[in-house]
Every structure is written in C-alpha cells, then in structure tokens.
Chains A and B, each alone.
Chain A
C-alpha cells in the first residue's frame, strides 16, 4: 500500500465553485500533514499545514481525520489562479527528516 494516496482528478470546476478532495495515508503513526501546491514544472509550494482540529486559511480549509487516516482540502469560491496540482504531504514519524508526497490531485478552474 502506498504511504500517501490521492485521487489524481482532474477536478474541473467553474470559477466561484467549491471543490474538495481527500488524501489517505497508510501509517496510523503519521505525525505531520501538509498541503502543497505545484504548478506545471515548478517547485512544490506550501499551501498550509494541517492541524488536528482542522484549520482554515482564507478560502482554503484543511481537515484531518485520524480515525480514518485521511486529510482533506476544500477550496471555496475557486479562482482561475487556483488551477494547480495539490500535493498531500505527510511526515510519518516525528523524527523523520523526509516528507512523503502523494502523486497529486489536479484542479482546473474554468472561467
């Protein structure tokens, strides 16, 4: 089983719509969770960390469900600039140096 699994999409949504997608992780001991975004042929850029109680940053909301071992990202009021690949990233153990990446979920926002 892969460490981090994501629905690759693509999710094609109109401007102003809400889009949400999940990511599952295999190791129940995983400690830290992040969402990064990656534009085509660019570096991953941190979107937000995901906290146990869930957290919001503007139009973006992240949730963590430890019991079911998934995290989610919801984007409200989608903008054209939200078109990107969203990477689910997990640090499995607190003393791990590496981050484990999912393959990404592609979101395309159309005018």
Chain B
C-alpha cells in the first residue's frame, strides 16, 4: 500500500538555525500539506501546495517558513531561523484530489534547543 514518507524522523537543532524537513508524498497525489502538532496539543494546519504553488496557508506559516517541490517526488518544509516554540511534530500529508481524504506521513519530531 502506498504511503507518505518523511525524513528525518527526529531533528535536533539550535535556536536560530535553519532546518529542512523532507517528505515524499504518495506518487499519484496532487495535493500536499504540512501540519504540526505541539506535544499535548491538537494537529494544526500550516500550508497546502498544489500545482507548484501555495494554495492556502495558516497564520502560523509566516515568513520564516517556506515550502518547495524541488523535483517530481520530494516536498520540503524549510524553517529559516528556528525558535524554541517551533519544537513540534511536523506531519506531511497528501491527497489525490482536494475533496479526498488526506494521508499522513509518520512525522518528523523537531526539537529546538
């Protein structure tokens, strides 16, 4: 069964450093998403990406964040200058069409020290 994959599974970084989280969505899916979940809190939407551009973003997704689809398979989330409050689990998701269910990857646990 096809699945979304994410690397790394755990990233530890110093405050102020840049991090890039990587995702490989399901191959025939057209819509890609990033969500985050701070420990003990609910899953929050960050951004969606369709047709090589951002289609929707939340208030959390400020200028420190960017997304890219550098090739036909990878989808990345970059945080330019990490803050302590960026520590969270970051989930990538994809869906075949907009109205379909979204399928989530296993997540990257980001720890900012």
Contacts and interface: CB of A to CB of B under 8 A. Distances in A.
Interface of A: 32, 34, 41-46, 49, 87, 91, 94-104
B56 A98 contact: yes
Binding site of B, secondary structure by majority: helix, strand, loop or mixed?
strand
Contact of A101 (B43, B99, B106): B43
Interface of B: 31, 33, 35, 41-45, 48, 50, 55-56, 58, 89, 91, 98-99, 101-107, 109
Contact of B91 (A44, A49, A97, A98): A44
Nearest to B44: A101
Contacts of A49: 101
A104 B42 contact: yes
Given A41-B89, A46-B101, A46-B103, A97 B56 contact: yes
Given A41-B89, A104-B42, A99 B99 contact: no
6 contacts: A43-B104, A43-B107, A46-B101, A98-B58, A101-B43, A102-B42
